[in-house]
Structure 1
Amino acid sequence: MSFSRLSLAPRRIGTARAILVPATLVLAALPIAGTDARAQATDDGVTLPELSVVGEPGRGGFGVASPQGSAASVIERPVGQVVTQVGRDGTIANRPATNIGSVLLDSPGITVRQGNGARDVVISIRGNNARSTGVTKNMVVLEDGFILTQPDGASRFDLVDPRAYGRIDVFRGPQSALFGNYATGGALAFRTRTGREIDGYEVGIDAGSFGYLSNSFTVGGVSGPVEISLFASDARGNGYQNHSSYDTQTINLLASYTPTPDNRFTLKVINNEVNADLPARSSLDQFRINPYQRGCATAATAAPGCTLTGLFANGAYGARIPVTADEGGFGRKDRRTIVAARWEHDIDAQTTWRTQLGFDERNFNQPFYTTSSRGSYPSWNFLTDLTRRGDLFGLPAVGYVALAYNTIDNHITTFNRAPYGGPTLGALIGEQEAVQSNLGGRARTEVALSDQWTGVLGISAENTTITGRSVAYGYSASGRTTTVATTDRSFLNVAPELALVYRPNAAWAFRGRAATGYTTPAASNLFVTPAGLPGNNTRLQTQENLGFDLGTDWTPTENLRLSLTGFYEFFRNELVSQSPGAGLLSYTFNAPASEHRGIEFAADWAFSPGWRAVAAYTFDDQIYTRYVEQLSAGTFTNRFDRAGNAIPGVPAHQLLARIGYDQPTGPLAGLGAYVEAVFQDGFFIDNANQLKAPGYTIVNANVHYAADLTGGYAKRISLYAEVRNVFDETYLSSAQNLANSLNATSGLQNGAASLAATTGSVFAGAPRNVVAGMRLSF
């Protein structure tokens, strides 16, 4: 993506020149020894105020306890970025967080949707993934500096257990200059607790409504040059919907070895197993009648509002038999394994070189609804970068250059489902093999222009190649037909970034940023047709966006932090996914032009001893500005102009508000409680804006206690209990966008009533439930 293609002016700028100018400035800063600018750059760095206590400010590296003074990773509090830091104290440590979504709501710009089973959630930043109901796209996810997003852009949060983390950074807005492909919405950077933070071991247990039980174990410490932290958990439950029981196990290891002050080695290992039953997604009409799909064990005795899915009686074609989720055996049995290592070397006092390599394999067996997908996605991630603190034209500067390469090998088979007998497979309907690779470079310079002004210039250039083949099979009484689709695509994208920060004093910071992002289609997008079946969709283009941020941060005292950011983003060929009907695969199309604009506000106020109030508000208005949709049915074909319509799946208003009290002194020190409200506006679920999913407000209440123990073997105890959805509101937590359709008899577009009766869309949110837990530290 060249900058000129997204700029408001039509003139073109040569790609080579666009890369050469900022890269030359970065490289000019690298070899010149000079003033140690890291402290200056860090002090001038403007991020969204930390909404909770974070790790030690003196830490050098991200995910490894490197010596004091070593160069920080580029993602550690970068200057000019719009970043929220969600810490452990007050957010993770004192609540039974069953999934990462409840923690991330502390950041403005975050939208959470219920995923497919267990603790799987779909996260979006600034609404860029809010219309997805399965895999998270349009962001890059990292953990301890290692990339968790696979090279096809897919991220999942089954493997993410909130209790393992000490801090989470939320990068908002286009971030491809810093993170490369897929960072059109932003990035998430998870940081596990290090061995020295744990310093011993902990055992924890949480239990609650609907058979929820979670056991966890954490151990960590330092011995000479070795530091290790290990987290393991087992979580299971019956689920609050019919046919939604699950169990999932996670192991998360972070180990570092520092043989000399100039060399640090880090090992990262994650393994997650998930085995989950999936309830059927209902229509909006069924949600209103039977939101939790109760009394839906068998089709013959199904209660009103039960969702039934039609499976081919012979598993191939012809008559269908309606079955419930139990009868169809809908579910997931997936495994994710990540093994990665990094070497950090301080070339001199101002220069650090890092090289890391990771293997990431996603193995899945998913008998979803009318089809079942089985496959393996092994991938490799390589990154090498150089960070140097020095002078640029006599000004303190931090320079960064990086080379990144990643590749994924996709193998998928798709079968029809057959009724009864558990997850019975029918006929093979698709085979897909594809290789996707991304090769690119990045460069970034942070320059202290004066005591009050800091400038940032960055750029990335990346080439993506996708080669693959999909074979689709169709069945009828006359036999089997075969359709072959192949692709050999190459995408070259360029993403510049420019930021300027003005800090007149310690209390105020003003920032402006212009940045670009790109997301190439994945191989899986290229081989699902608008009919929701394996086939040819290989003409998809790269999604590109140009975003402008203006914001201010005000910290008049250490007890009050306020932040306000306005953003306006212009999209070209936005990738939008939707469902063509119940049980079918979601397909992806390009909307030629669209705009996202909004406001993000965050507040953290300790207004009296022990009292604290937190708020995170987002206004996000997203519209198509150029998109004509063609619909066909029978002998009719009509085109509909969607320009000016809201992009489906994105709520305009979201708010988290929390107020709490923690006793600071006396015999009850460590006892606390809070109440929070989570509000989400309604949102359209179709391109014609005919049907709107209802908004909601839920209230959660928490009480917790933590104290140091003396005279015994245990060092510390933490107790907590939480009532979620206190007022037992029935609300919608996930809705698959639905395709509009024509009436085959009249040729007119079907209305809201037709959409509301279409199954395969809605999951209800959890009713009132209670979860309590305990953690002992030794």
Structure 2
Amino acid sequence: MSLFFRTVRRCGRTLPAFLGLGSLPALAAQNPSLPMLPHHGASMQRPVQSSQTPPPQKRNAHEKKRLAASEIIQVTGQARGPATLSPTGQTSYSAERKDFAGHVAQSVADMLVTVPGASFLQGNGPRDTVVSIRGSGARQSYGLRNLQVSEDGFPVTQPDGTARADLIDPHAYEGVDVFQGPASTLYGNYAINGAINFRTRSGASIHGLELGSDFGSFGTFNNYMTLGAGNRVYDFMLFASDVRSDGFIANSQYATSTENMRLRVSLSPKDRLVLKFINNVTDASLPLRLSLSQYRLNPYQQGCATAAGAAAGCGTVSLYRNGAYGAQTAVTPQQANLGRFDRRSIVGLRWEHDFTPRMFWRTQFTYDQRHIEQPTSTTSFVGPFNSYNVQTDLTRHDKLGTTPLTSFVGANFDYMDYGYQVYALLPQPGATRGSQTSTSYGHQWNIGLRFEEDWQFAPKWHVVIGLGGTQSDIGAVQTVFSHAATGTRAQYITANRRFFNLAPEASVVFAPDKAWTWHARLGTAYATPGYSSFFVTPQGNYGNNTQLKSQSSLGIDLGTEWHPSPSVNVQATGFYEFYRNELVSQSAGVNTQAGSYTFNAPASQHRGVELAVTWQALPRSLPGAKLRLSYTYDNQIYTNYAEILSNSTLSRSFSRKGNLIPGVMPHFLNARVLYDQPSGIFEGLGGFAEVTWRSAFYIDNANLLKIPGYGLLNLEVHYDPPARLGWVHRLHSYVEVQNVANTVYAAGATTISDTLLANGQQAGAATLATKTGSIYAGSPRAFFGGVRVRF
């Protein structure tokens, strides 16, 4: 069967995306050590002589065709399919294991820090990283939104568009692929800014047992193990980890355990089964998000054990003394035991069948349960979310005349049912529940169909056209309870919404010579509102907000890759995206029932530049040295939005046209100087110095209040003993210092709502700086070390 390969890495060089390499069994027979995992993006390596490792590469469909027998060749196979495929011409980057697995790597942020276009903020919990691609999730307080996320081709985004990074322990992964820009043609609903696919390690590459431990500041310990084995008939990987820490902010201690397994079995030369299992339990205490004024006074919330003796800058919540209504008492997060206890379990099974050497079929089923108990503010949110996902697709490699043509058609159906309850908290220890404030029961399903034609119509040209569509249905009923001395009143709010969206796309790739590749793409995407956004009012309370519309985008990408020599690789992409009815969320403050509400901005634009540079300055005299840089400029503005602000006596409308969309960092940069000694007595010794810089950004629609930017310096040294040292070769060790300068910075800052004063004017920056529910401080200087041994 011909494969549609998306990435070929050779010390910074790339090969064409479409390579006819024969059937999978034939490919395996040519190289018995090759794991048979091409359908979900497994990495496959051939014997090499060079010790140089390649940088992350942008994957375009028709790139330079140069081959040297002594170079590293790493081929990442991507089967056609909605969960694992980067459309031809789409801007895509990868981070490989060598970029993150050698150091402490606590969260998905450590995996994506070198990827242009990717940014991240601290969510609600230790590994709940808010990942943004081109600003997609910059206005969220938790999780990954406006993205389709998968692992080994199995979806980890639930039908309501929610994915969370708690599942991710970077030690388990071979790499991560980031597909940027509007991508609903192949990925369906919520791929408004692209998709991410995490790739776990293959059992054949592990080939035994690995035990590791990371330890360091704030009482942090991560003990983990990886077991793997594989051949042409099967491939098995099992990973487990247990992470514990006291945290660097008061009331931020946590314990989280993760299990991750993948089994691939070849039933016959034409049939394969892939079984996937993920389980995560997170038990985390949570501090409160601060106002900017509180953050400046007390970023790590020290001295905040009790409200009565709290130091300046402490966050508190006001809880009803009887748990229902009336008088309130202010308590700190420690007094109320605010936190999260979440469990997530995912099981998936995929069948892959080769009809002919040039046509294959995949069908997979995934069950995903998320059960949460979250006393995070004035209320406790409790409930299960059960999801079911079925995907099937057919890929055929053919010819149109004498030129290669690849046709893809796929369909998917996913369904989620949920039922949650919200309880007021009592001002006493143990996150004790009081009266019930609301309940919500409902469902969401999405059914989609998509096709794509990929035609290499000339040796230097490649073109793709495609169309996808999704029908979505959301049905939910929320009951809001109002408690008083005279009794309890129930208000019923019903949301029955159906949405239909289409997403066409077209792209072209041109490779005029060996040094240059150009790509251009016109992509579209859509995202329906999540069920929860229908039931939160602008005041941050539970109520009716069912008028929300789907958001949609049209994006234009123009990019190039310049590779004049093996030691230089430069990649640059400019993007311009037009949004309609963009869904924007804002915090109404800590002491509200729901906290954040969502609205539609009628028109907005996102435009920017992504740049990635890898430079080996002295390849002969200093072959182990390398500079890697990634930079993103992201400018997002409202082009049509009037915001209505209200106080107790009047309402006024304010035009936000031309204002920057809050929550989006205009500039972010990562630069690493790396060195690995390739030979001699110090062979295997290496390290890097890394600078990460984020610019200041607004967090309100009126552009009155800015969160300060920051720069961080990190240092790392590691040692991988060479094979000549015998059993010592099985050890890996490292030491790392993060935030060397001990910079105080805001790691997470959600957007806040502006305020209308009694005189009808907008409140200024000084007033907004006192508005709570926004900022988490980042880690102060921290020291870590670790060791891993392979058996």
- TM-score w.r.t. length of structure 2: 0.90
Give SS of 1:689's match: coil
* Residue 753 of structure 1: aligned partner: 766
By how many angstroms is 1:541 displaced? 0.3
1:228–1:37 distance in 2 versus 1, CA, 3 Å: closer
- The answer to whether the 8 Å contact 2:361/2:393 transfers is yes
By how many angstroms is 1:759 displaced? 1.4
Q: Which amino acid aligns with 2:414?
A: N
1:538 aligns with 2:551: no
Query: What is the alpha-carbon distance in structure 2 between the residues aligned to residue 58 and residue 592 of structure 1?
Result: 48
By how many angstroms is 1:583 displaced? 3.8
1:558–1:56 distance in 2 versus 1, CA, 3 Å: farther
1:735-750 correspondence to structure 2 within 5 Å:
735-743=749-757, 745-750=758-763
By how many angstroms is 1:715 displaced? 5.4
Q: Which amino acid aligns with 1:657?
A: A
User: What per-residue deviation string (whole Å, max 9, x for no partner) do you get for residues 562-599 of structure 1?
Assistant: 10000000000000001112243211110110000000
- The answer to whether the 8 Å contact 1:270/1:337 transfers is yes
By how many angstroms is 1:73 displaced? 3.7
Query: What is the alpha-carbon distance in structure 1 between the residues aligned to residue 557 and residue 746 of structure 2?
Result: 31
Q: Which amino acid aligns with 2:706?
A: K
Give SS of 1:561's match: strand
Moved more, 400-409 or 313-322: 313-322
1:290-369 correspondence to structure 2 within 5 Å:
290-369=298-377
- The answer to whether the 8 Å contact 2:173/2:199 transfers is yes
* Residue 485 of structure 2: aligned partner: 477
By how many angstroms is 1:476 displaced? 2.2
Moved more, 514-523 or 714-723: 714-723
Q: Which amino acid aligns with 2:319?
A: L
* Residue 772 of structure 1: aligned partner: 785
1:461 aligns with 2:475: no
- The answer to whether the 8 Å contact 2:212/2:223 transfers is yes
Ranked by relative contact order (alpha carbons within 8 Å, sequence separation 6 or more), the top structure is: 1
1:582-601 correspondence to structure 2 within 5 Å:
582-584=590-592, 585=594, 586-601=596-611
1:647 aligns with 2:661: yes
- The answer to whether the 8 Å contact 1:171/1:186 transfers is yes
By how many angstroms is 1:477 displaced? 2.7
* Residue 44 of structure 1: aligned partner: 16
1:72 aligns with 2:89: no
By how many angstroms is 1:412 displaced? 1.0
Q: Which amino acid aligns with 2:186?
A: L
- The answer to whether the 8 Å contact 1:44/1:79 transfers is no
User: What per-residue deviation string (whole Å, max 9, x for no partner) do you get for residues 128-183 of structure 1?
Assistant: 11111113210010100111100000010001111111011011100101100000
- The answer to whether the 8 Å contact 1:41/1:79 transfers is no
* Residue 177 of structure 1: aligned partner: 185
Query: What is the alpha-carbon distance in structure 1 between the residues aligned to residue 3 and residue 151 of structure 2?
Result: 26
- The answer to whether the 8 Å contact 1:268/1:340 transfers is yes
Query: What is the alpha-carbon distance in structure 1 between the residues aligned to residue 101 and residue 217 of structure 2?
Result: 20
Query: What is the alpha-carbon distance in structure 1 between the residues aligned to residue 153 and residue 235 of structure 2?
Result: 17
- The answer to whether the 8 Å contact 2:133/2:194 transfers is yes
Query: What is the alpha-carbon distance in structure 2 between the residues aligned to residue 703 and residue 69 of structure 1?
Result: 29
1:533-612 correspondence to structure 2 within 5 Å:
533-584=541-592, 585=594, 586-608=596-618, 609-612=623-626
Q: Percent identity?
A: 43
* Residue 629 of structure 2: aligned partner: 615
- The answer to whether the 8 Å contact 1:131/1:736 transfers is yes
Query: What is the alpha-carbon distance in structure 2 between the residues aligned to residue 230 and residue 767 of structure 1?
Result: 34
1:627 aligns with 2:641: yes
By how many angstroms is 1:735 displaced? 1.0
1:327-476 correspondence to structure 2 within 5 Å:
327-476=335-484
Query: What is the alpha-carbon distance in structure 1 between the residues aligned to residue 601 and residue 119 of structure 2?
Result: 21
By how many angstroms is 1:304 displaced? 1.3
Query: What is the alpha-carbon distance in structure 2 between the residues aligned to residue 255 and residue 304 of structure 1?
Result: 54
1:64–1:107 distance in 2 versus 1, CA, 3 Å: closer
Query: What is the alpha-carbon distance in structure 1 between the residues aligned to residue 269 and residue 518 of structure 2?
Result: 37
By how many angstroms is 1:223 displaced? 5.2
- The answer to whether the 8 Å contact 2:3/2:77 transfers is no
Give SS of 1:61's match: helix
1:78–1:715 distance in 2 versus 1, CA, 3 Å: farther
Q: Which amino acid aligns with 1:297?
A: A
Query: What is the alpha-carbon distance in structure 2 between the residues aligned to residue 361 and residue 498 of structure 1?
Result: 36
* Residue 52 of structure 1: aligned partner: none
User: What per-residue deviation string (whole Å, max 9, x for no partner) do you get for residues 713-770 of structure 1?
Assistant: 6751111111000000000011121111112x32222111111011111100000001
User: What per-residue deviation string (whole Å, max 9, x for no partner) do you get for residues 668-722 of structure 1?
Assistant: 1110111000000111111111100110001100001112456866751111111
1:315–1:259 distance in 2 versus 1, CA, 3 Å: same
By how many angstroms is 1:522 displaced? 1.1
* Residue 61 of structure 1: aligned partner: 39
For structure 2, the 5+ residue unaligned runs are: 9-14, 19-32, 46-74
- The answer to whether the 8 Å contact 1:64/1:256 transfers is no
Moved more, 585-594 or 70-79: 70-79
Which of 658, 672, 677 aligns to 1:663? It is: 677
User: What per-residue deviation string (whole Å, max 9, x for no partner) do you get for residues 622-680 of structure 1?
Assistant: 00000011111111111111111110000100000000111110121110111000000
For the aligned residue pairs, the C-alpha RMSD in angstroms reads 2.1
* Residue 50 of structure 1: aligned partner: none
Query: What is the alpha-carbon distance in structure 2 between the residues aligned to residue 72 and residue 418 of structure 1?
Result: 53
1:172-321 correspondence to structure 2 within 5 Å:
172-222=180-230, 225-321=233-329
User: What per-residue deviation string (whole Å, max 9, x for no partner) do you get for residues 282-305 of structure 1?
Assistant: 110010010000011111111111
- The answer to whether the 8 Å contact 1:498/1:513 transfers is yes
1:40–1:733 distance in 2 versus 1, CA, 3 Å: closer
* Residue 99 of structure 1: aligned partner: 107
- The answer to whether the 8 Å contact 1:70/1:346 transfers is no
Query: What is the alpha-carbon distance in structure 1 between the residues aligned to residue 447 and residue 681 of structure 2?
Result: 59
- The answer to whether the 8 Å contact 1:458/1:496 transfers is yes
The count of residues paired between Structure 1 and Structure 2 equals: 734
Which of 477, 488, 501 aligns to 2:509? It is: 501
- The answer to whether the 8 Å contact 2:720/2:729 transfers is no
Q: Which amino acid aligns with 1:205?
A: S
Give SS of 2:142's match: coil
Query: What is the alpha-carbon distance in structure 2 between the residues aligned to residue 603 and residue 199 of structure 1?
Result: 34
Query: What is the alpha-carbon distance in structure 2 between the residues aligned to residue 196 and residue 649 of structure 1?
Result: 43
* Residue 22 of structure 1: aligned partner: none
User: What per-residue deviation string (whole Å, max 9, x for no partner) do you get for residues 101-148 of structure 1?
Assistant: 022011111111001112211101000111111132100101001111
1:734 aligns with 2:748: yes
Q: Which amino acid aligns with 1:592?
A: P
* Residue 30 of structure 1: aligned partner: none
* Residue 6 of structure 1: aligned partner: none
